[in-house]
Amino acid sequence: MGHIVQPDRLTKRDIERTMALGLNVIRLAVDWHGFEPVRGQYNMEYVNLIHKLLQQMDQLGVYAILDAHQDCLSPKFCGDGVPDWAANPRPNAAPFPAPIDKPYTLDNVTGYPSKSDCSKHYWGFYCMSEAGASAIQNFYDNYDGALDSFANWWQFMAKEFRNYTNLIGYEILNEPFPGDVYMKPSLLFPGTADAVNLMPMYHKISAAIRRSDPNALIFFEPVTWSNFGTHFESVPGGEKYRNRSVLSYHFYVPPNTLPPHYFPMRLNDSARLGCGNMLTEFDVIDTSDENLKQVVDTISVCNQHRVSWIGWAYRGYLDNPKVTSLLSQTYAMAVAGSLISQSFTVRKPHQGYNEDDATAYKLAFKLSTRCKLPTIIYLNEDVHYPNGYIVQLTPGNIAKWMQYKRNYIHVYTAGNAKDNEIVELTIRATSNKHRSNKQINKNDR
């Protein structure tokens, strides 16, 4: 569970607050444009900033995914992400941003449109400009060696940061656009861009990363609005890397379909490819009642399907209790075996207290006696358990719990536990009349 953030906006205090909410992974957006503004020259000040942040995160127990972030490729197209020298539209492309709008006046020095012009339309529409779409296609096609340079940069990044134990892996490219849909309209057909443009690019970048860091996880995305399943034939790098690959996907309505269809589809994608999967973006900024309900529903579906999630973004919600109370859920940070299921339901107890209507967390997992570490449960006591909580373990003769420190419970298995035994744990909030942190053990299994 975590969120995404731009490195230059992240402070140690932010990381501390992240961990206090139980959000233990940050998708750290790294900007190729910032690392290599001049071709062949890496910005070591930026490199050192990432080192500093990874060190701080490691000290505080927060994991990281390095994400090559881009949106509409470049400021040339009212976006960001790649260096200016790697953002080259087709020479005969219509002036930007046609056909979205009439041509914008460009700065004589930078070649960028003004911020006021860019603000005229939703940023995502600019990816559909002929100049922007053709520049993305040129990037995929390695025009002027841009994709080679991108691969070299990723190889450098993996070599530079591979020794951090809290670095989970690398996300090759955020929200890839299909390509030049004006010259190749078929790229708009479901799955075509995945097969034609994205997978060849992913294979190339994966090979570069693996030369520096063969064991890290590599995250790869389909086209953002894909609602018909991916058409990837394998994971980046081929079949031998299935156990080190993660299908990364985003969830926004629109363009995506509703959770009952969307998440099973993505699980089918990853099952077919034999790789992991993770929701790496969904909207936690919009505080409308409709979106807050969507946040609750999204996390609930993720729990149902045992999917880890990351919200977009961290600025704007850390100080908003309406949102943090929804994100700061009780969950298992680590399980001494294999997770079967977990769920978290927030309810307000009725006057007089009714146990069935209390905030409740439920966990079931299958024990592995080879694992000597405890199962770790995070719970936000101030938000969800202000009057205390009751923990129920079944069966109680093979598992005991203790409050390791505030907001953390550790569950230990006894020496008589057997492989594959199922442990069930329930945590319920108590009322004022039942203020207690106590244990109930059941030995009826």
- The pLDDT assigned to 439 comes to 55
- pLDDT tens for the 445 residues of the chain, in order: 766 667 777 889 999 999 999 999 999 999 999 999 999 999 999 999 999 999 999 999 999 999 999 999 999 999 999 999 999 999 999 999 999 999 999 999 999 999 999 999 999 999 999 999 999 999 999 999 999 999 999 999 999 999 999 999 999 999 999 999 999 999 999 999 999 999 999 999 999 999 999 999 999 999 988 899 999 999 999 999 999 999 999 999 989 998 889 999 999 999 999 999 999 999 998 989 999 999 999 999 999 999 999 999 887 677 788 899 999 999 999 999 999 999 999 875 444 445 555 689 999 999 999 998 999 999 999 999 999 999 999 998 889 999 999 999 999 988 888 999 999 999 999 976 554 565 555 543 3
Q: Which residues contact 52 (CB under 8 A, 6 or more apart)?
A: none
Q: What is the pLDDT of residues 313-355, one digit of tens each?
A: 887 677 788 899 999 999 999 999 999 999 999 875 444 445 5
Say if residue 357 is in the same domain as residue 324.
no
Residue that is last in its domain, among 328, 362, 383? 328
Annotated catalytic residue within 36, 130, 175, 221: 175
Report pLDDT for 352: 44
Asked if residue 347 and residue 238 are part of one domain, the reply reads no
DSSP bridge partners of 394: 424
d(CA 189, CA 392): 51
213 and 106 assigned to the same domain = yes
| Whether 270 contacts 231, CB under 8 Å | no
C-beta of residue 223 within 8 angstroms of C-beta of residue 256: no
The CATH number covering residue 186 comes to 3.20.20.80
Domain of residue 322: give its range. Answer: 2-328
pLDDT of residue 166: 97
Same domain for 430 and 312: no
Residues 204, 74 share a domain: yes
Which tens digits make up the pLDDT trace of 400-427?
999 999 999 999 988 888 999 999 999 9
Q: Do residues 309 and 423 both lie within one domain?
A: no
The answer on 384 and 253 residing in a single domain is no
Same domain, 227 and 368: no
What whole-number percentage of the chain has pLDDT above 70?
Answer: 93
Q: Which of 375, 306, 308 is nearest to 335 (CA)?
A: 375
- Is the bond leading into 395 cis (omega within 30 degrees of zero)? yes
175 is catalytic: yes
DSSP state of 183: T
User: Of 277, 300, 328, at which residue does a domain stop?
Assistant: 328
Last residue of a domain, one of 328, 349, 373: 328
In this structure, are 104 and 252 located in the same domain?
yes
Contact 411, 393 (CB under 8 A): yes
Nearest to 405 by CA among 434, 366, 376: 376
The pLDDT of residue 408: 97
221 is written with which tokens? 């995305």
Q: Is the pTM of this model over 0.75?
A: yes
Find out whether 377 and 332 touch, Cβ atoms under 8 Å.
yes
Domain identity same for 260 and 378: no
pLDDT at 199: 98
Burial status of residue 233 (CB atoms within 10 A of its CB: 0-12, 13-18, 19 or more): exposed
Q: What CATH number is associated with residue 407?
A: 2.60.40.1180
State the pLDDT at residue 359: 86
Assign residue 388 a region (left: φ > 0; alpha: ψ between -120 and 50; beta: otherwise).
left
Residue 312 phi, psi (nearest 5):
-110, 125
- Residues 287, 372 share a domain: no
Q: How many domains would you assign to the chain?
A: 2
Instruction: Round the average pLDDT of the chain to a whole number and report it.
Output: 92
Same domain for 302 and 365: no
